[in-house]
Chain A
Amino acid sequence: MKYSPTEALARLIGRIARMGQKYGVEWWILVAGAVIILGVILMAVFAGAIAPYNPSDQNTGPQLAPPSADHLMGTDNLQRDVFSRIIFGARTILGVAILAAIISSITGITIGLISGYNGGAFDRLLSLIMDSVYSFPGLILAIAFAAMLEPGIISITFAVAVIYIPTYFRLVRGQTLTIKEELYVEAAKAIGAPGITILWKYIFPNVIATTAVVFTMNVGDAIMIEAALTYLGLGLPPSVIDWGMDLAMGKKFLPSGQWWLITFPGAMISLLAVGFTMLGEGLSEILNPRLLER
């Protein structure tokens, strides 16, 4: 070990600060987003250790108790601890959103690369289909899918993943179309490099930067859509601990003054989405060469 853990941390912070000076505010936005996301991920991973109670335990304390030292976020009507449910709920929402984004990106990028590179009637047809889906309100399509399938992690991940595929497709296909006209690609073709090699070695690396930004935005959107679906009662069975579902269950207690049941799930959804959006914004500003002009 060259440096001790604290020293390593100090060097990391120093590095981050220097980059901040170089890139300005945008960098700090990115860092803020990353910190939020990291925080929630750690919370999800170490849920078992952090949560004071079992989230399904129906005997943790008084019914519908406001936040207190014992129950940082209060209890619900089944006497479960809200704070523990929030901590474990992070797993569900992060899991679904990230998984959906991964599926979405892999599918969209692959199809986009192939279609853009090969061109022809197939490409035009596919573009048309993707454009149509892209223009349609994503949430409504997700609702339709989630409603038709049996509630479960697979169904909701599928519903959330499908609607973002056109975004990746359009982005990647557009860039593929441009790049494939480049001289070095022609050269590669001339020496007989197979299509896949060209795609993988030349085109894909160029596409990655913008795709990364879209990926973070995708996860942010996926979080919102997952929460909206479960809020509407679609997609997941109630036995899974989820922020959107807790929000829906808690809202009927609002006029009785039990505000903590909806405030915390809502705040967490917003916070997590903000985190990913800030990461995406920061990333796009930095990777975008026009930044230097501003």
Chain B
Amino acid sequence: MKSFKLIFVCLLTLGIVFLASNSFARDTLVYGTTEKVTDMDPANAYDFHTWEIFYNIYRGLLGYPPGKTNLVPELAESYKVVDEGKGYVFKLKPGLKFSDGTSFDANAVKWSIDRVMRIKGDPSWLVTDFVERVEVLDKNQVKFVLKNPVAYFPALVATPPYYPVNPNVYPPDKIVQDPSALKGGKLVGLGPYRAAFFKRDQEVALELNPYYVGEKPKNDMVIIRYFADATTMRLALEKGELDFAFKSFNPSDISDLQKMSNIKTIKGQGPYIRYVCFQNNTEPFTNKIVRQGVAAAINRPDIIKKVFLGQNEPLYSMVPMGMWTHTDNFKEVFGDGNIEKSKELLAQAGFNETNKLKFDFWYTPSHYGDTEVDMAAVLKEQFEATGVMEVSVKSAEWATYKNNWKNQLMPVYLLGWYPDYIDPDNYTAAFAGTAGSRGNGIYFSDPTWDAMFVEEQKTPDESAREAIFKKIQQMWTDEVPTAPIFQGSLYLFAQKDIDGIMISPTLQFIYAPIEKMK
């Protein structure tokens, strides 16, 4: 027994002594998140967290400055539009090298795009839907030949599938899941960082890229720690174990963290929207009056208060706030929780207290966070408060959910959207254009709408596009293929001594300017 006590006391003292010493001498930032990394390959990753890592390891031909939404040249010095909008010629910055020393040139660009087209990963449509082929004009000039003129092509070029990767390191036909599978065992890109360590679901460490020619980052290393749930992450932040944390916090944690004096809150307008979808080709939702009636019952402030403790913003159009051309059409036409209007509209379609509108209302419990359960419960109450609807709530995990909308099993369901590229087209055509609508299970199709989408995609004339988008939003309140609910706000929390964090609706969170103040 005595020896036990002695050993214990020794260990205790040792522990306290060693606890004082720090593992890192350099300026390392620890970043917590509940997101998950998928594949470390721009040809297949299609989630925002992995893309965020790419924004810091790779570079695109064009990009966004930290915190801003305007496009600026990155790897390309400039570009010009030729062939009446069907061709884009990019002039690359000379003398750039990948982080293993290989030079970067037009061949690398072509090789990378061809690779994306060949592999046909999840995000490859961002390339294959628009790009016919890529031509190398000379060492520093590359031309993209498009299938059709696309007004927002520059916004597409700023997305990770277009990022050039090192032809010497990346396998031409296989998707890379983690860096240890690559030659040299490390990810090689043109950005300010490179991946030093990768352990899925635990941590990813980014160290400085010695070949980077731009401004040196204000920190030496960023370690991303993965958390299984938000509560743990919030507590780790509170205790000072993390320097900053982003995505996704529970609403109650956000409320608490905002009130803490030692934690800095950085709030940004998110580009992420949530909405109710109708299966427009299934009775009774083929009748737009029914869709209008259901949409009228939605009480957005009530949902935001109950489910999100007031932390998001009600949304009255599918085009989010802060984006060019947004107008609050749904507010003007329906308002919130408009029970009278809802009953009136549904009465026109023949539904009343004795003949209630019965439908299954679906949601997916974890893909959008676990607030979905509550949101579905609140919406059910709101629909049934009209007295003329009877709702049965159902759920399916994401994989089955996607399958369900393909098989037209869900007459009314909840969906969310993060933009692929920053343009109102991505928030409208994707749901109401015939092809996009079918792809998302909405099955709305109207030739007038399709013609308008084709028009705005082709023309580079900004005022013409603006007019089209405004009209579409207004038509949305008439046809109601979907009904918007709210727009998410982005919350990032950091220790008081962290500076330089800028988040923007582009979700391109750049680590380089972040520093720990002394």
List chain A positions with a Cβ less than 8 A from chain B: 56, 58, 63-64, 77-79, 151, 233, 237-239, 249, 251-256, 258
Instruction: State whether the Cβ of B305 lies closer than 8 Å to any Cβ in chain A.
Output: yes
Interface members, chain B 360-385 (any A CB < 8 Å):
365-366, 370, 373-374, 376-378, 381
- In the bound assembly, the distance between CA atoms of A233 and B377 in angstroms comes to 16
B252 CB → nearest A CB, Å: 4
Q: Are B250 and A252 in contact (CB under 8 A)?
A: yes
- List of B residues within 8 angstroms of A151 by Cβ: 395
B255 at the interface (CB under 8 A from A): yes
For the complex formed, measure the closest distance between the CB of A110 and the CB atoms of chain B, giving whole angstroms. 35
B345 interfacial by beta-carbon distance below 8 Å: no
Flag whether B454 is at the interface (Cβ < 8 A): no
| A and B contact pairs by CB, cutoff 8 A, 27 listed | A58-B377, A58-B378, A63-B305, A63-B309, A64-B252, A77-B251, A77-B252, A77-B307, A77-B309, A78-B374, A79-B306, A151-B395, A233-B366, A237-B395, A238-B365, A238-B373, A238-B376, A239-B393, A249-B370, A252-B230, A252-B253, A253-B252, A255-B238, A255-B256, A256-B255, A256-B256, A258-B252
Q: Which residue of A lies closest to B230 (CB)?
A: A252
Closest A residue to B394 by CB, please name it: A237
B228 at interface, CB cutoff 8 A: no
Is B9 an interface residue, CB under 8 A from the partner? Answer: no
The yes or no answer to B143 lying at the interface (CB within 8 A) is no
Q: Which of A151, A253, A256 has the most CB of B within 10 A?
A: A256
B252 touches A252 (CB 8 A): yes
Q: Does B234 contact A (CB under 8 A)?
A: yes
Report the count of interface residues on B (CB-CB < 8 A): 28
B residues in contact with A78, CB < 8 Å: 306-307, 374, 377-378
Does B373 contact A254, Cβ atoms closer than 8 Å?
Answer: no
- Is there an interface contact between A249 and B252, defined as CB atoms closer than 8 Å? no
Contact A233 B305 (CB under 8 A): no
Interface membership of B81, Cβ < 8 A: no
Q: Which 8 A-B pairs have the closest CB atoms?
A: A252-B250, A256-B252, A238-B373, A253-B252, A239-B393, A58-B381, A256-B256, A78-B306
Task: Give chain B nearest CB distance to A229 CB in angstroms.
Answer: 14
Residue of B whose beta carbon sits closest to that of A237 = B395
Please name all residues of chain B whose beta carbon is closer than 8 Å to the beta carbon of A258 when the two chains form the complex. Answer: 252
Report the bound CA distance from A258 to B234 in whole Å: 15
* Distance A53 CA – B152 CA, assembled complex (angstroms): 55
- What is the distance, in angstroms, from A172's C-beta to the closest C-beta of chain B? 39
Q: Is B28 an interface residue (CB 8 A)?
A: no
In the bound complex, CA of A254 to CA of B393 (Å): 27
The residue from B231, B309, B374, B376 contacting A254, defined by CB atoms under 8 A apart: B231
By beta carbon, the residue of chain B nearest A254 is B231
- In whole Å, how far is A38's beta carbon from the nearest beta carbon of chain B? 32
CB distance from A250 to the nearest CB of B (A): 10
Query: Apart from A239-B377, A255-B234, what are 20 other A-B pairs with CB-CB below 8 Å?
Result: A56-B381, A63-B306, A77-B251, A77-B306, A78-B377, A151-B395, A238-B365, A238-B373, A238-B376, A249-B374, A252-B229, A252-B230, A252-B370, A253-B252, A254-B231, A255-B238, A255-B252, A255-B253, A256-B252, A256-B253
In the complex, chain B residues 227-244 whose Cβ is within 8 Å of any chain A Cβ: 229-231, 234-235, 238
> Are A233 and B256 also in contact (CB < 8 A) when A63-B306, A78-B378, A254-B231 are?
no
Interface residue SS majority, chain A: loop
Determine whether the beta carbon of B373 is less than 8 Å from that of A249. Answer: yes
Residues of B within 8 A of A252 (CB): 229-231, 250, 252-253, 370
A255 and B235 within 8 A (CB):
yes
The residues of A that contact B250 with a CB separation of less than 8 Å are 252-253
Name B393's contact: one of A64, A233, A237, A251 (CB within 8 Å).
A237
Q: Contact check, B252 vs A238: say whether CB atoms are below 8 A apart.
A: no
Given contacts A252-B250, A253-B252, A255-B256, contact A238 B377 (CB under 8 A): yes
Q: How many residue pairs between the two chains, A and B, have CB atoms under 8 Å in the bound complex?
A: 62
Chain A residues within an 8 Å CB radius of B252? 64, 77, 252-253, 255-256, 258
Chain A residues with CB under 8 A of B373:
238, 249
- A57 nearest in chain B by CB position: B381
Query: Cα distance A239–B391 when bound, in Å?
Result: 11
Complex-state Cα separation, A239 to B234, whole angstroms:
28
Q: Mark B212-239, 1 if CB is under 8 A from A, else 0.
A: 0000000000000000011100110010
* Structural contact, A58 and B306, CB atoms closer than 8 A: yes
Min distance, Cβ B307 to any Cβ of chain A, angstroms: 7
B49 to chain A, nearest CB (A): 20
Query: Using Cβ atoms and an 8 Å threshold, which residues of chain B touch A64?
Result: 252
Residue of B nearest to A257 (CB): B256
Query: Given the complex, which residues of B lie within 8 Å of A253, measured CB to CB?
Result: 250, 252
* Chain A residues positioned under 8 Å from B378 (CB to CB): 58, 78
Q: A77-B374, A78-B374, A233-B365 are in contact. Are A238 and B395 (CB under 8 A)?
A: yes
- Which chain A positions have C-beta within 8 A of B235? 255
A258 to B393, CA, bound (A): 27
CB distance from B391 to the nearest CB of A (A): 10
Once the chains are docked, how many angstroms separate the CA of A46 from the CA of B478? 49
Q: Find chain B residues with CB under 8 A from A238 CB.
A: 365, 373, 376-377, 393, 395
- A78's nearest neighbour on chain B, judged by CB, is B306
Chain A residues positioned under 8 Å from B307 (CB to CB)? 77-78
Q: Which of A56, A151, A252 has the most CB of B within 10 A?
A: A252
How long is the Cα–Cα vector from A233 to B229 in the complex, in angstroms? 14
CA–CA, A54 and B265, complex, Å: 38
Which residues of the partner chain A approach B370 to less than 8 Å between Cβ atoms? Answer: 249, 252
Residues in B whose Cβ lies below 8 Å from that of A237: 393-395
Separation of A56 and B256 alpha carbons in the complex (Å): 27
Q: Looking across the interface, which residue of chain B has its beta carbon closest to that of A245?
A: B373
Complex contacts, A63 vs chain B, CB 8 Å: 305-306, 309
Give the Cβ gap from A13 to chain B, nearest Cβ, in Å: 45
CA A151 to CA B364, docked complex, whole Å = 13
A249 to B229, CA, bound (A): 12
> Closest B-chain residue to A256, C-beta based?
B252
Q: Which residues of A contact B376 (CB under 8 A)?
A: 238
Give the distance to chain B from A91, nearest Cβ to Cβ, in Å: 19
Bound form: Cα–Cα A253–B374 in Å = 14
Q: Which residues of A contact B305 (CB under 8 A)?
A: 63
Query: How far, in angstroms, from A48 to B442 measured CA to CA in the complex?
Result: 41
User: In the complex, what distance in Å separates the CA atom of A239 from the CA atom of B381?
Assistant: 12
What is the bound-complex CA distance between A255 and B238, given in angstroms?
A: 10
A233–chain B nearest beta-carbon distance, Å = 6
User: With the chains together, A145 CA to B309 CA distance in Å?
Assistant: 36
A256 to B255, CA, bound (A): 9
A293 to B307, CA, bound (A): 61
Chain B residues lying within 8 Å of A256, measured Cβ to Cβ, are: 252-253, 255-256
User: If the complex has contacts A63-B305, A77-B309, A249-B373, are A255 and B231 also in contact, measured as CB distance less than 8 A?
Assistant: yes
Of all chain A residues, which has the CB nearest B232? A255
- B19 → A minimal CB distance (Å): 24
Bound together, the chains give a CA A258 to CA B366 distance in angstroms of: 23
Give chain B residues whose Cβ lies under 8 Å from the Cβ of A77.
251-252, 306-307, 309, 374
CB neighbours (8 Å) of B394 from chain A are 237
Contacts of B255 in A (CB 8 A): 256
- By beta carbon, the residue of chain A nearest B400 is A150
Complex Cα distance, B446 from A146, in Å, reads 42
B230: chain A residues within 8 A (beta carbon): 252
